Amino acid sequence: MGKGTLIKKLLERVPDLALSVSATTRAPREGEKHGRDYHFLTEEQFQERIAAKDFLEFASYSGNHYGTLNSELDRCLEKGRSVVLEIEVQGATQVRAARPDSVQIFIAPPDPAVLRERLRGRGTDSAEAIDKRLQVAEQELGAQDDFDFLIVNDDLDQASDELESIVRRSIGLDS
Name the pTM for this structure: 0.82
**What CA–CA distance (Å, rounded) separates 158 from 153?**
8
Between helices 112-122 and 127-141, what is the axis angle to 10°?
140
Domains and CATH numbers, the chain: 3-169 (3.40.50.300)
**What CA–CA distance (Å, rounded) separates 168 from 54?**
29
CA proximity to 92, closest of 62, 67, 111: 67
- Could you read off the pLDDT of 96-131 as tens digits, one per residue? 999 999 999 999 887 766 666 766 776 667 778 777
What's the mean pLDDT when you consider all of the chain?
89
CA proximity to 60, closest of 10, 24, 94: 24
